[in-house]
Amino acid sequence: MYFRVTKEEFDFLHGLVKENIKKQNTQFRRAISTEERLALCLRHLATGNSFRSMGFSYRLGFSTVREIVIEVCDAIWKNLGPIVMPKPTTEIWKKSAARFSQIWDFPNCIAAIDGKHVNIQCPINAGSTYYNYKGSHSIVLLALVDADYKFIAIDVGSYGRNSDGGIFEKSKIGKKLQNGTLGVPGDTPLEANGLPQPHVILGDEAFPLKTYLLRPYSRFYLGENEPNKIYNYRLSRTRRIVENAFGILISRWRVFRRHFEIQPDFVDKVVLAACCLHNMLSIESMEPDLATLRSPKAALLNIQGIRRNHANAAFRTREAFKEYFNSSTGSVPWQIGLVRRGRIYNEND
């Protein structure tokens, strides 16, 4: 059974987008109502049915269904996006870091990052531009996810043949982090009386090691090095939330389980709308006056403090987190048991 939107959620969403999707009646035909347009779009996202199948169900032309879905998705992104996915500010990052520390025992973490390939049919004259390592054509959804599986910031539309690390370097998110203009808070000690450490984003091996971006140790640095393994475990345990967020997105919106039948520019609009809907449905309780929270997108704040970009600084940052996770203050009771998989140990080890 695919995911269902409640009446309250539908009414709230309809109130946001109805002015953007309204059509005028003429003497020759009655325009499709805004409720029907929104319902058709949500049904397409939730079921993944083709435009042809949707056309038979709603007695509409196939091209009409496609145009409605694209138009409604664009309206959802423009109207719902500023509410559920505002531009990151220092206050947003601080709240995210507090949740990571509370839920996942990872201090100074503001987000987890990863890329998701969204399969598409090969565009006209695209050649191998969108051809990825999995053997299909795709665009990439690059996402920063908070501790509650919600998207903080996303970048959509990169070519499927590019790596996650390369996409990150060229994206607006990566450039703003590099330049220190994404509002990230200043350095904070991991424990009392400790040296201040940067706030970081967690990524996998595909991403470069930066002072603001942590990645795991490679196999070359593991071997029998237990502290390094504990660091990798703690990072992977926290970073998996971005994988879970993608899983929830696909479970809710089954349109991601098949190839998109539209051009990449239109796919971008569908993906952006789906991510906004994901965040909206992740809110535990929706206030009746949620629409009043809408406001113009806030200007990005400059980071406080100096960002060190030298490679040695990035290694020192990773070492500081490793030492913290292996200390009496930062360790968790079960980490040694999971790292020593297959070995007998006790509390006196």
| pLDDT tens track for 27-63 | 888 889 999 999 999 999 999 899 999 999 888 999 9
Angle, helix 62-84 to helix 51-58, in steps of 10 degrees: 100
Q: Clarify whether residues 146 and 170 are in a common domain.
A: yes
Q: Clarify whether residues 49 and 122 are in a common domain.
A: no
Q: How many whole angstroms separate alpha carbon 209 and alpha carbon 212?
A: 8
The pLDDT of residue 80? 94
> Token pair for residue 8?
């309250």
- 344, part of any domain: no
Q: Clarify whether residues 55 and 197 are in a common domain.
A: no
The pLDDT of residue 292? 35
Domain that holds residue 267: 85-339
For range 14-22, the mean pLDDT? 93
Q: Which residue has the higher pLDDT, 174 or 344?
A: 174
- 184, part of any domain: yes
- The CA–CA distances, whole Å, from 207 to 92, 93, 164, 247, 347 equal 23, 21, 7, 21, 36
- 348, part of any domain: no
Q: Clarify whether residues 39 and 136 are in a common domain.
A: no
Do 26 and 234 form a contact (C-beta atoms < 8 A)? Answer: no
Name every residue whose Cβ is closer than 8 Å to that of residue 250 and which is 6 or more positions away in sequence: 256, 257
Summarize pLDDT for 130-169 with one digit per residue, the tens.
Answer: 998 889 999 999 999 999 999 999 999 888 888 888 898 8
The pLDDT of residue 191? 84
Q: Clarify whether residues 223 and 114 are in a common domain.
A: yes
Summarize pLDDT for 317-329 with one digit per residue, the tens.
Answer: 988 998 888 888 8
DSSP-assigned beta bridge partners for residue 200: 109
> 30, 62, 83 — which closes off a domain?
83
> 83, 106, 129 — which closes off a domain?
83
> 83, 113, 148 — which closes off a domain?
83
Question: Looking at the predicted structure, is the pLDDT value of residue 262 above 80?
Answer: yes
Q: Largest Cα–Cα distance of the chain, in whole Å?
A: 85
Q: Clarify whether residues 58 and 163 are in a common domain.
A: no
Residue 192 has φ and ψ, to the nearest 5°, of -55, 135
The pLDDT of residue 324? 87
Q: Clarify whether residues 244 and 256 are in a common domain.
A: yes
Q: Clarify whether residues 181 and 218 are in a common domain.
A: yes
- 208, part of any domain: yes
The pLDDT of residue 134? 86
Q: Which residue has the higher pLDDT, 258 or 294?
A: 258
- 175, part of any domain: yes
Q: How many whole angstroms separate alpha carbon 310 and alpha carbon 301?
A: 23
Instruction: Give the rounded percent of residues in the chain with a pLDDT score beyond 70.
Output: 88
Instruction: Give the chain's mean pLDDT.
Output: 84
Q: Clarify whether residues 308 and 181 are in a common domain.
A: yes
- 345, part of any domain: no
Q: Which residue has the higher pLDDT, 212 or 349?
A: 212
The pLDDT of residue 293? 34
- 349, part of any domain: no
Q: How many whole angstroms separate alpha carbon 140 and alpha carbon 77?
A: 18
Q: Clarify whether residues 92 and 73 are in a common domain.
A: no
Summarize pLDDT for 79-133 with one digit per residue, the tens.
Answer: 999 999 999 999 999 999 999 999 999 999 999 999 999 999 888 888 888 998 8
Q: Clarify whether residues 234 and 288 are in a common domain.
A: yes
Number of domains in the chain: 2
For range 268-288, the mean pLDDT? 80
Question: Looking at the predicted structure, is the pLDDT value of residue 14 above 50?
Answer: yes
Q: Which range has the worst mean pLDDT, 23-37, 49-63, 171-185, 290-304? A: 290-304
Indicate the pTM of the whole model.
Answer: 0.84
Name every residue whose Cβ is closer than 8 Å to that of residue 260 and which is 6 or more positions away in sequence: 118, 119, 120, 121, 267, 270
- 41, part of any domain: yes
Instruction: Give the rounded percent of residues in the chain with a pLDDT score beyond 90.
Output: 51
User: What is the bridge-based pairing of β-strands 196-197 and 213-214?
Assistant: unpaired
Q: Clarify whether residues 262 and 282 are in a common domain.
A: yes
